[in-house]
Structure 1
Amino acid sequence: MMKKIYIMISAAILSLSACTVEEEILDEVNGGKVINNPENVEMIVAPAYAYLRDLQNRSGVWGTIQSVTDELAWPARGSDWVTPDLQALFTHDYAPTNSYVRNTWNSFMLGITRSNVALKYLSEFPKSPKVDGYIAEVKFIRALCMFRLTDNFGKFPFREFTETDYSKAPTILDRQMAVDRMIKELNEVIPVLKNKLEIPYGRVSKAAAQMLLANVYLNHEVFTGEAKWTETVQQCDAIINSGQYSVADDYWGMFQYDNAKYLQNTESILSVIYDETIGLTGSVWIPITLHYNQKFGSFTSLWNGCCTTPTFVNTWDTSDKRFSDKRLISQLGFNQGFLIGQQYSPTGVALKTRTGAPLVFTKEFSIKNSKEEEGVRVVKFAPNPSTTNTSNAGNDFPLYRLSDTYLMRGEAKFRSGNLTGALEDINYIRNTKRGMPAYTSLDLDKILKERGFELYWEGNRRTDLVRFNKYRDAREEKNYVTPAYKVLLPIPLSAIEANPNLSQNPGY
């Protein structure tokens, strides 16, 4: 199982995590035996798979890329959360010295590096279907990092795993070069990768690579100026028509603390595995947003941090089942989804702020000086009410799921003029599966909103806003249109200092 693979990480590479498994120190001889023995292939690929957990990092990828959108803000609250680099993300005042932008860049580059290390050792093993399969899986992870770099930064240095002469500078891939390489490599690995039922849950499947390729095609016009809607539809067709996945009937079942089995049996095209019972915990979904006084179970240290925005909340019909769910309210005191208005303890007592005012979450907030109760909170991933772990969560994270495939296909059909097909796909999610009134007509604004309703806080929003030409729009606390050059994030100053061949994105 992939969970066993993850446990092996601490024994193989001690710096990857602070898991509680027993540490094994390998000397040079025994270490060489590990990396040169094909029987240890899972151990070789484990660091690349473990990297996927970094995509949910609040101080790196997830926390940065969400914070530049209308889905997530980190307001300063008095003397709490006064972090100029965080607030600058929301107001689009980010600069090449922004530490969160740097963390995000470094994360994607780390994913490529870990993948290349794995590919180097795998390539030295005798060829076999098993080794070839793992090579294809690791190449997918590397391509995923390349996609994220292309999307967010526009260019990046790249070295193939066979290029071991580090005295030579790496190639700088621009968007066209990166896109061409990703398309070629994904088309090469798709026939090698296995179907869902042939591999354990959590492993990279053929559909995962098709999903990434569909994303490359969906954003191809943004990246290169040339649309690839037909190709997007073809990749989505391959996933949907495989019959291996089904859209979840219980939307919130995908985000419970024990969501692995439900995801596996329904929508999960690729999920990042977490398991708090063995120390594999994820992002701090709960402490980062709940107020200090929303204590429950063993959760007694809450941080009163991030919130969402009036701009995003106002797109919703609050009767939408995706807006909130109350199945755990008697144990938590709060619902899943959007937390607005008076908040209560698990026993029903109306909570107060630290100054004694009613704890009423409001839509409005100030990015530079919010009151502690300002801002609508979001709890997408449910905590385990009976856990003894008081920080990170054990929910699996659905990196790719089938609902997104339908929405991507519907968008591509609409943009290519197939309005009937687009309406069928969007309404399949909106109406058939989520119970909202079916659309009788469609436009890009409705499609973007539907993506927000279905996929909020799952890490897609920045890419979507850019593709729909909404990223630069004025909104609360950013009452101006963002300059066009800031659609790309700045290349971190540290990266440019380390590589004289890497130039800054124009405008910074």
Structure 2
Amino acid sequence: MFKYTIKVGALAVLMATATACVNDLDRTPKYDVTSASVYNDAANYKSVLAKLYAVLSVSGQQGPAGKPDISGIDEGTSNYMRLLWKLQELPTDEAKIAWNDATIQDINKITWSSSDGFVTAMYNRIFYMVALANEFIRETTDEKLSSRSISGQAATDARTYRAEARFLRALAYYHAVDMFGSVPFVTEADAPGAFQPRQATRVELFNYVEGELKAIETELAAPGSGEYGRADRAAAQALLARLYLNAQVYTGTARYADAITYAKKVIDAGKYTLDANYANLFLADNNTSKEIIFPITFDGTRTQTYGGMTFLVHASVGGSMPINQFGVDGGWAGIRSTKNLNDLFPDLTGTADKRAMFYTAGQEREITDLGNFANGIAVTKYKNITSSGSAGSSLTFIDTDFPLFRLGEMYLIYAEAVLRGGAGGDVPTALNYVNLLRTRAKATPVSSLNLDQVLQERGRELYWEGLRRSDLIRYGRFTDNTYVWPWKGGVANGRGVDAKYNLYPIPASDLVANPNLKQNTGY
């Protein structure tokens, strides 16, 4: 299991020489190893690869605080997964947060600006991943492996690691395409050091991510055959399926047939199966699930962070919720649901649909006060408890992994792409996939299917999994006035907002640092 035990010394050259995009990332190198001492020894390569994966889950070198990857921002609040979750969920009809940290309420209300610290931190995390991946890819070319006399199995492993680094870079650029649209573009071909990269268009970035994922598809481990927590072929295929589902938004050209093709590749591989119990997907031993294609992994001992799943589990607990049922040492009383999410389910008890995982005692359905955790029904989806009922290894830091890609999403991508007219699939199969999810949840199967039903089913199946903002944008419902939710646009009943908010702004600080950049329209 690929839980991150990182050899800090082997990461120094990455911290010191990675190509910068954002004010040189304000990195503070603190180590004394050199590129030669790291990459001349093939035994170091997996440790350096672990750092790349760890960028998704932790934000420093010792955890939970004290040696940040990027100086000037809080380690806990600037964690990649925590930022991704907040920017994808808090502006939507699924979640609101009660805190007043910096500009977080602007995220709740969809009223952010180009100087927003959370938006800037997400942008910086994306390019930190890109910088580290570029360096690793640059140092593991076939030519460099040969020059270091790295051959045989060591060279084969290095090539696989290189493909995984390209996947992680493609994932970061995918998040850039989805959230920011047009951003600075750097690859391993750009020499290390501070410079002002050009800004690639959203279409260019889409094509780049697509090309990278297709190029490495066969270089990654076969679906389900690799080490848990590492990207395999199915992870690349799942990301391609998600990319193609959103292609109309990203490029103006629909690619629904391709979405079907790549969702089918994952499904037809036969290596992933629906977990019999939906709740088990979000527990401390979810690493045993056969449904999860690619997780962001966490461990209470080895990935100690106040971001990631530590945030998601602790911040979900508050009020009268019994902390022992969540495997934590206290609740942070932060995030809860909106009535729109509640209304997707026949009831909040889980009787008619086991995916309805809510806590209602002492909680009000209406959110009249964003700063009051008791306004909004609490969500019990994520716990630091195993499927056998025992607590995780730590009550402070969480063992539960975050399922970034899983089979249930592939079923729903297939269904939506078919209904949007994609070739290569059929409605009966789409209906069957949706009903497999509903049957697992003990919900009544449906006899027909339309696009609105698929959006609702995505809400029931995938809520709080970091996808809702993209879903609402794809359906044209994120900014307009025809569909509203509490505090959309900064008012209690909700209202439409400017279409500019379909993209986050390029941070003002980067516009100053790089005159090659142009701000997204409207900011």
The TM-score with structure 1 as length reference comes to 0.84
In the alignment, structure 1 residue 474 sits paired with structure 2 residue 474: no
In the alignment, structure 1 residue 365 sits paired with structure 2 residue 372: no
- Give 2:20's aligned residue: none
- Give 1:98's aligned residue: 116
In the alignment, structure 1 residue 173 sits paired with structure 2 residue 200: yes
CA distance in 1, matches of 2:354, 2:455: 15
CA distance in 1, matches of 2:242, 2:413: 8
Structure 1 residue 387: Cα displacement: 5.0
Structure 1 residue 34: Cα displacement: 2.3
Gaps of 5+ in 2: 16-29, 59-77, 489-493
- Give 2:67's aligned residue: none
- Secondary structure at the aligned position of 2:379 is classed as strand
- Give 1:339's aligned residue: 359
Structure 1 residue 314: Cα displacement: 1.1
Q: 1:323 to 1:197 in 2, by over 3 A?
A: closer
In the alignment, structure 1 residue 278 sits paired with structure 2 residue 293: no
Please show how residues 59-458 of structure 1 align to structure 2 within 5 Å: 60-75=83-98, 81-83=99-101, 85-123=103-141, 124-126=144-146, 128-164=155-191, 166=193, 168-261=195-288, 263=289, 266-280=290-304, 282-291=309-318, 294=321, 296-297=323-324, 299-318=328-347, 319-324=351-356, 337-340=357-360, 342=361, 360-370=362-372, 372-384=373-385, 386-387=391-392, 389-416=394-421, 418-431=426-439, 433-458=440-465
CA distance in 2, matches of 1:16, 1:260: 29
CA distance in 2, matches of 1:73, 1:161: 39
Q: Check whether the contact 1:56–1:283 (CA below 8 A) recurs between aligned residues.
A: no
Q: Check whether the contact 1:407–1:426 (CA below 8 A) recurs between aligned residues.
A: yes
Q: Check whether the contact 1:285–1:393 (CA below 8 A) recurs between aligned residues.
A: no
Amino acid at match of 1:440: S
Amino acid at match of 1:101: V
Amino acid at match of 1:2: F
- Give 2:63's aligned residue: none
Q: Check whether the contact 1:218–1:229 (CA below 8 A) recurs between aligned residues.
A: yes
CA distance in 1, matches of 2:82, 2:275: 30
Amino acid at match of 1:498: A
Q: Check whether the contact 1:152–1:489 (CA below 8 A) recurs between aligned residues.
A: yes
Identity within the alignment, %: 28
Amino acid at match of 2:359: L
Structure 1 residue 218: Cα displacement: 0.7
- Secondary structure at the aligned position of 2:358 is classed as strand
CA distance in 2, matches of 1:170, 1:307: 40
Q: Check whether the contact 1:299–1:391 (CA below 8 A) recurs between aligned residues.
A: yes
Amino acid at match of 1:41: Y
Structure 1 residue 64: Cα displacement: 2.4
Q: Check whether the contact 1:59–1:103 (CA below 8 A) recurs between aligned residues.
A: no
Question: 248-257 or 119-128, which moves further after superposition?
Answer: 119-128
Amino acid at match of 1:374: N
Q: 1:405 to 1:258 in 2, by over 3 A?
A: same
2:498 to 483, 491, 500: 483
Q: Check whether the contact 2:11–2:48 (CA below 8 A) recurs between aligned residues.
A: no
CA distance in 1, matches of 2:371, 2:303: 36
CA distance in 2, matches of 1:494, 1:202: 34
CA distance in 1, matches of 2:402, 2:265: 23
Amino acid at match of 2:517: L
- Give 1:349's aligned residue: none
CA distance in 2, matches of 1:284, 1:269: 22
- Give 2:18's aligned residue: none
In the alignment, structure 1 residue 51 sits paired with structure 2 residue 48: no
CA distance in 1, matches of 2:392, 2:427: 48
- Secondary structure at the aligned position of 1:451 is classed as helix
Amino acid at match of 1:125: L
- Secondary structure at the aligned position of 1:285 is classed as helix
CA distance in 2, matches of 1:495, 1:419: 46
Structure 1 residue 419: Cα displacement: 3.1
Structure 1 residue 389: Cα displacement: 3.1
Deviations 1:46-103 (A, max 9, x none): 221111215975752212221111111113xxxxx23461111121111111111111
Structure 1 residue 308: Cα displacement: 1.1
Q: 1:424 to 1:409 in 2, by over 3 A?
A: same
CA distance in 2, matches of 1:416, 1:218: 12
Q: Check whether the contact 1:120–1:162 (CA below 8 A) recurs between aligned residues.
A: yes
CA distance in 2, matches of 1:450, 1:506: 32
Amino acid at match of 2:522: G
Gaps of 5+ in 1: 18-24, 76-80, 325-336, 343-359
CA distance in 2, matches of 1:13, 1:37: 13
Q: 1:367 to 1:140 in 2, by over 3 A?
A: farther
Q: How many residues align?
A: 458
Structure 1 residue 235: Cα displacement: 0.7
Deviations 1:185-210 (A, max 9, x none): 11110011111343211111001001
Amino acid at match of 1:373: A
Q: Check whether the contact 1:256–1:395 (CA below 8 A) recurs between aligned residues.
A: yes
Q: 1:33 to 1:152 in 2, by over 3 A?
A: same
Structure 1 residue 279: Cα displacement: 4.3
CA distance in 2, matches of 1:459, 1:467: 14
Q: 1:37 to 1:369 in 2, by over 3 A?
A: closer
1:7 to 5, 14, 17: 5
Deviations 1:126-181 (A, max 9, x none): 37322221111110100011111101111111111121164653131111101111
Q: 1:171 to 1:26 in 2, by over 3 A?
A: closer
Q: 1:191 to 1:299 in 2, by over 3 A?
A: closer
CA distance in 2, matches of 1:231, 1:269: 19
Structure 1 residue 320: Cα displacement: 4.1
CA distance in 2, matches of 1:488, 1:57: 18
